[in-house]
Amino acid sequence: MDIQSIGIVGAGQMGNGIAHVMALAGYDVMVTDISQDALDRGMNVINGNLARQVSRDKIAQDDMDAAIARIKTTTTLTDLGQSDLIIEAATERETIKQAIFEDLLPSLKPDTILTSNTSSISITRLASRTDRPEKFMGFHFMNPVPVMQLVELIRGIATDEETFKACQAVVAKLGKTSASAEDFPAFIVNRILMPMINEAVYTLYEGVGSVQSIDSSMKLGANHPMGPLELADFIGLDTCLAIMNVLHDGLADTKYRPCPLLTKYVEAGWLGRKSKRGFYDYRGDTPVPTR
């Protein structure tokens, strides 16, 4: 299947990044969200990130202008129906994702491929709620999308080879690398990454180290570019907690039990960078540890 048009559900952190790289690679892109304000914010981010690439001589000004011209926005979900490939990048809640796919179904072309950018939810289960489980798969970008080189491709139990190859070709056209993952909770990256972050939160919770000492130890002792608590704030503590709950529920192993301190931060609304407070306080000029 020759994919030329991409529909993206969600203009947030992941959605606008996906739109950015797709348009830059030459695809016609349509992005939808629940409000015009959300779409405007997403387009502002795309403009800013493309301008930064121009200033660093990563792309030419003509490339930026052409990419922006390829992106259209709409608040009407069903406008995406004529796209060759749809990537759902909404909130990491299964009920929301299921509702989006159910609302899309009546407007889809027969050969439209449906995908989800979910970082942990069962692709097989999401696919089973659609009319095309063979044309459904996981298309998991890493954050921030324009920078990170990996895309996890996750086949559900019914996904056919043609769908997988078509998505694999899109990843190659983006200049990124695809990794094929089986449809088990959290796939590859988050199956390994999130328990490490959760263990860092336990290390803080048990008083083994402070926020600063834990992050410094992993940056300098394990050569990680970001400390695990700094990274958790960047990802969003609510997302980290949601993935840990998927791992805990899906694998029934106590080693995936979310740390109570992570739950407490989320309950407080301290979600990391996006809420200005998490393991660090971002309301000043310099992030300050909150513990």
Q: 119, 120, 178, 198: which is the annotated catalytic residue?
A: 119
Active-site residue flag, 102 = no
Active-site residue flag, 190 = yes
CB-facing half-sphere around the CA of 171: CA atoms within 13 A: 23
Residue with tokens 């809420």: 275
Please choose, from the candidates 268, 13, 244, the residue with its C-alpha nearest in 3D space to the C-alpha of residue 279.
268
Active-site residue flag, 198 = no
Q: Provide the angle, in degrees to the nearest 10, between the axes of the packed helices 237-251 and 260-267.
A: 130
Active-site residue flag, 107 = no
Rg value, the chain, Cα = 19
CA separation for the pair 108, 265 (Å, rounded): 40
Q: 117, 190, 198, 230: which is the annotated catalytic residue?
A: 190
Q: 88, 92, 152, 230: which is the annotated catalytic residue?
A: 152
- Which amino acid, residue 78? T
Q: 140, 178, 198, 230: which is the annotated catalytic residue?
A: 140
Residue 265: how many other CB atoms lie within 10 Å: 26
* Positions marked active-site: 119, 140, 152, 190
